[in-house]
Structure 1
């Protein structure tokens, strides 16, 4: 454990605290719009992704990039969520790989613990305008 902490500290990467779902399965816990989650990457099952939940099953979501003149929309299918990164211009997310099944979600991020000057609860989405109400 000490070796892992030392290595992480030397890299100076942001550290987040995740909460796993009931019985270690996030699928039993339902994500909420705006939650930040850890999920298995739909493109590479060996890696994890950290993204914000933009849409839940049945929600209408904007599937186009912010710079697109014509906006396209789609509905999130049952058993899936729509995930997007906070940096929309440089994020591989549901706009690339489509809706993500609940079964790929591993946990929810609830707290940022590193760097110390940014310690605390996570901020609201800078892309709140992407949450569609209709």
Structure 2
């Protein structure tokens, strides 16, 4: 291969690699859901595409956004950098339930924002879901199913029968932060554990479940399944 062809080939590969890195850094990224904190909205085994440009832009290996053009809204499902002191470095995925200036409270799984209980209806009938600890077997577990309506977002939340569902006393959300909760209210380490999260630590907004693997293999009904915000 002569020198000019080699230079062209190296240049082509370099542009390709840079384009892929830019796409993953600033536009979209796939994240794996290893735990059940967002069941039933997100399932263990989902691979979720994240819109990294939804709120701002962050350079690789930095802990806060260098540019922010929009703040997460109540009801958004977001991916965030693991809070300082978190036992694991994995990115987390949770729902924004309150924003800066709000007050937030949870009474036995029931969300209260600015003193008003968020509308919630219990879904009658039998409720079960598939749970799995990392490295462990799949198991079917019981639940209590509710439909919650936060602003214009309507989604399901789960609690465990006959157990408290994660009370939170009234707290004020500081400006520039958001308060996060899992849809599986008593199976989520969220702002009840690590407090409000600075907006700059939000990496992006969950958009699409690209593929999903469950106890029986591929979940075909979740192929290209849009995330319910």
Q: TM-score, with normalisation over the residues of structure 2? A: 0.44
Aligned residues: 114
RCO greater where, 1 or 2, for CA within 8 Å and sep 6 or more?
Answer: 1
Which residues of 2 match residues 96-107 of structure 1 at below 5 A? 96-107=193-204
Which consecutive residues of structure 1, in runs of 5 or more, have no partner in the other structure? 1-7, 125-134
Corresponding position of 2:119: none
CA RMSD of aligned residues (A): 2.7
SS at match of 1:38: strand
**1:63–1:72 contact (8 Å) kept in structure 2:** yes
Of stretches 26-35 and 65-74 in structure 1, the one that deviates more from structure 2 is: 65-74
Which consecutive residues of structure 2, in runs of 5 or more, have no partner in the other structure? 1-31, 33-43, 59-64, 110-163, 213-219
Q: TM-score, with normalisation over the residues of structure 1? A: 0.72
**1:64–1:95 contact (8 Å) kept in structure 2:** no
Tell me which stretches of 4 or more aligned residues in structure 1 moved more than 4 Å: 68-71
Report which of the two has the higher share of strand: 2
Q: Which has the larger radius of gyration?
A: 2
| Residue 48 of structure 2 corresponds to residue 16 of structure 1 | yes
Instruction: Choose from 9, 19, 38 the match for 2:79.
Output: 38
**1:54–1:84 contact (8 Å) kept in structure 2:** yes
Q: C-alpha offsets along residues 50-82 of structure 1, whole Å, 9 cap, x if unaligned?
A: 001011101111156533797621111011000
Report which of the two has the higher share of helix: 1
| Residue 165 of structure 2 corresponds to residue 122 of structure 1 | no
| Residue 69 of structure 2 corresponds to residue 28 of structure 1 | yes
